[in-house]
Amino acid sequence: MARSLELWVFIMSNALLFVSGSILLVLSLLAYYQNTSIRSYRLSTIGFGFIVLGGIVSPVYRLLIRSDYHLNAHQRLLLQSAESILLAVGLGLLFYAITRHNPRSPGKDGSDPFATDFREYEEKGYED
């Protein structure tokens, strides 16, 4: 097993990635559930899922499956390739979701979910 300090830094950095990625995943999922007609929310949720999955591949393999922190060159290359592929797919989905985001998609009932009634502002004397 690796020295204690390096092992804990490895565990804490991967835990931080997992927690922050999971928070973003949940927030994206909540946004999708609030308006299922906007496809980019679903794509971003899937993208964050791939990013979280790519972040936990290494700690799960090294600590739970192999039970040893030290890997040979072949194992390290395969592990880093798997992480990179999952992260690239996740980031690609996020990029696609951001570039294709259209918040003006009609709601389920055909209404504009982001329409604002400006009469209230005009009545109170607010200006742009």
Q: Could you list the pLDDT tens digit for every one of the 128 residues in the chain?
A: 556 888 888 889 989 999 999 999 999 999 889 888 888 889 999 999 999 999 898 888 887 887 776 778 888 888 889 999 999 999 999 999 999 877 665 555 555 555 555 555 555 565 55
Q: Tally the domains of the chain.
A: 1
- Give, as one character, the DSSP assignment of residue 36: T
8 within domain boundaries: yes
Q: Is 113 domain-assigned?
A: no
| 41: in domain | yes
- Helix (H) / strand (E) element for 30: namely helix 4-34
User: The domain containing residue 14 runs over which residues?
Assistant: 4-102
d(CA 71, CA 77): 9
Q: Is residue 107 part of a domain?
A: no
Whether 110 is covered by a domain: the verdict is no
